[in-house]
Amino acid sequence: MRNWLSGLALTAMAVAALFIGVGSQSANATVLAPTVSIVRVGTDAMGGDSFVNRNREYVLFKNTGLANTDVDGVTVMDNWRKSNLNNLSNCNKYTVNALPGQGSAAVLASNESVIVLNGWGTDKKLGNTYWLYAKSANACGLHGHYLNNDADTLYLMTNAADGVEITHKSWNWHGGYYVS
């Protein structure tokens, strides 16, 4: 009976460690899956793609775990960028380097979120959400819009160099402006 309980306790600790995000994938990011998940992707800016509506393309991801999670070095990228990791341009990707109010750190507490918007603005924290702006260049996609409206996949990676996937969200034409 004691051996069975010991085995059960070890199994429970291993499962808890997985869900809390203990361990290290790289120097910049802890194991995030499944504690970080993509909540919503703005896939299609309302109206024609233009400089003024680039912030309608975005990704919102959240720390759904109970512990703080380091997101420093996490890179958001689409299907094209994931297939072209060696391309030197900064198109179709954004790397989290710091969160507003944290200096050079990027740590999400439980239930905190990050929204990465494709266009321009001032990084800030509103409530439990950090707002980051990718400042995507006009050369990336159509007027800086790079997510395909009809079908694409958005990835969260540990960083662009090793390309270790944390999670992703795919869509095929859905008749709307976002997917959850």
Q: Which residue has the higher pLDDT, 83 or 20?
A: 83
Which CATH number belongs to the domain containing residue 66 in this structure?
A: 2.60.40.1260
Q: What is the CA radius of gyration of the chain?
A: 18
- Between CA 140 and CA 151, with CA 145 as vertex, the angle to 5 degrees is 110
Give CA–CA dist 68/64, Å, rounded.
Answer: 10
Q: Structural domain tally of the chain?
A: 1
Distances (CA, A) of 154 to 83, 93, 112, 168, 169: 12, 10, 20, 6, 5
Cα 148 to the center of its chain, rounded Å: 17
85-103 pLDDT per residue, tens: 777 777 778 889 999 999 9
- Which of 30, 41, 19 has its CA nearest to residue 151? 41
Cα 100 to the center of its chain, rounded Å: 16
Note down the domain range covering 73. 2-179
Cα 136 to the center of its chain, rounded Å: 16
pTM exceeds cut of 0.85: no
Examine the pLDDT at 137 and tell me if it is beyond 60: yes
Top-ranked range on mean pLDDT: pick from 3-17, 66-80, 128-142, 159-173: 66-80
Give CA–CA dist 159/96, Å, rounded.
Answer: 9
